Each structure stands twice: as C-alpha cells, then as structure tokens.
Homo-oligomer: A and B are copies of this chain.
Amino acid sequence: MNGDQLTRLLSMVASGEVSPEEALGRLKHMPFTDLGFACADTHRELRQGFPETIYSPGKSAAQIVEVARSLLDHSAKVFATRVLPEQVEEIRAAFPAAYYNAAARLFVIGDLNHRDSLLSKYRCAVVSAGTADLKVAEEACLILEYSGVSLERIFDVGVAGIHRLLDRTELLMKQDCLIVVAGMDGALPSVVGGLVACPVIAVPTSVGYGAGSGGIAPLLTMLNSCAAGITVVNIDNGYGAAMAALRYATVSHDPV
C-alpha cells in the first residue's frame, strides 16, 4: 500500500465514505491468503512483476497442489521448483496440462502459453561450462523462457578449451544479460565478464569433488572474479539467477 492509496483511503474517512473502523480493517487486511500451513503471498506478482513460484522442499505434494491452486486464483501461471520425482504423479493428477522437466525438477502449472509480451525483446543467454552443469542451467532457462524472455542456450563452453567460448563471442555480445553456470574451477564467468559489457550473473554448481566440493570452490572463484561487476547467486540456484535476470528487465534507463 503506497502513499497515494493511503491518502485516498484517509480522504474517504474524512468524507465519511469509510468509517474509521472499516479503514482500520482495510489497513490491516494484508494481501496474503492464510492456508493454515502457509501464507501464500498472492499480491507479489502485482507488487514485483515476478512469476509466482513455489519452493517445494519441505512441502508434501498435496500442499504444493493447494498452494498452486491458491496462487492460480491471481496469476495465469505458477512455477514449482525442486519437485521430487516421487511427487510428480500426484501433482500432474491435479494439473493434467502442467509441464514437468525432470532434469530441472521444475513444474510449470497453469496457462503455459501466457507470456509477458514486454519481455520478448529482452535477450538473455544461459552459458554453461560442462554437461554436468546442465540441470542447474536448465532450471534458469525454463523460468526465463516461460516468462517470455528471448533465450539463447550456450552450453559446454568451459575455459579448458577456450576456443569453444571465443567462437561464440559475437553471440554473447548481443545479449542484454548473461547467466553463466559453472562448477569445478568456476573460471568461466571471469572470462565471459571480460568479453561483454552487459550484466553477468554467475551461478556456481555443486559439480566436482574433493577440496572445495559441493560448489564452494566455484562460489569463491566467482566472488573473487577479477572481471569487475560480476554478481553471484548461491550454489545450484538456477532459479535465483533467472529471477535476478527478470529484475534487470525492469531497468527503465535508456541503454548506454
């Protein structure tokens, strides 16, 4: 509730249109739906322009279905991330038309063809270092694609064979935003960040073993990138990277 709305409500109180008690009630009426186990934040799309997303870990399939139904009252489309294989059947039974990607463990529920037309001119690429990073990269790709972004996949271009990356330089330079996904040494965002001027979101993955495993090595590499202006999300957080890319789409400035 912003200042304009508050002023308007207060004017209605002043004019007698709304009683003080009713105004108090409206001010208190928060824009979320209480489901008992979860407060679905139904106004978030309005406030932030983000796609509705259910973070599935810790929720039963039945709970995911219930939250999805509640959110679909307000939105055309809902994502559910990190859905477990054993939950897929029950969710699909509730939403037969839903799309599920097993690699990304992502459900897209609702009107699959609904896109934000404003986003179609926004060009993003998801760049990944190795085939083992594909699951994380694909989670980011699908959220961006289903949100309406013009997406490019540039996969398996790790720095140990630098010519594979350099060959795509022109394609990289055409994008508005890059998500760069890498495990092991996590060196790819540093090289990419030195080639392009656009935003680079680095996603470390838990690919690798031994010292620095679980994604710690690429996370630290990316935080210490010698290419200026690289930002980082948490390990394996393809969803977070996609959401960050969608935040950048809101920048209203004329491009430099």
Contact = CB atoms under 8 A, between A and B. Distances in A.
Interface size class of A (residues with CB under 8 A): 35 or more
B210 A215 contact: yes
27 contacts: A3-B28, A3-B170, A7-B20, A7-B24, A10-B24, A31-B163, A38-B131, A41-B164, A58-B134, A116-B256, A118-B254, A118-B255, A162-B195, A176-B253, A186-B187, A199-B244, A208-B224, A211-B216, A211-B220, A211-B224, A212-B221, A220-B221, A228-B240, A228-B243, A231-B233, A248-B248, A250-B255
Contact of A58 (B63, B131, B158, B194): B131
Contacts of A224: 184-186, 208, 210-213, 217-218, 234
A126 interface: no
Interface stretch (A48-56, A69-77, A91-99, A105-113): A48-56
B231 A160 contact: no
Given A158-B226, A184-B225, A198-B251, 5 more contacts: A7-B21, A37-B131, A39-B155, A220-B221, A229-B246
Given A215-B211, A224-B185, A14 B19 contact: yes
A212 B221 CA distance: 8
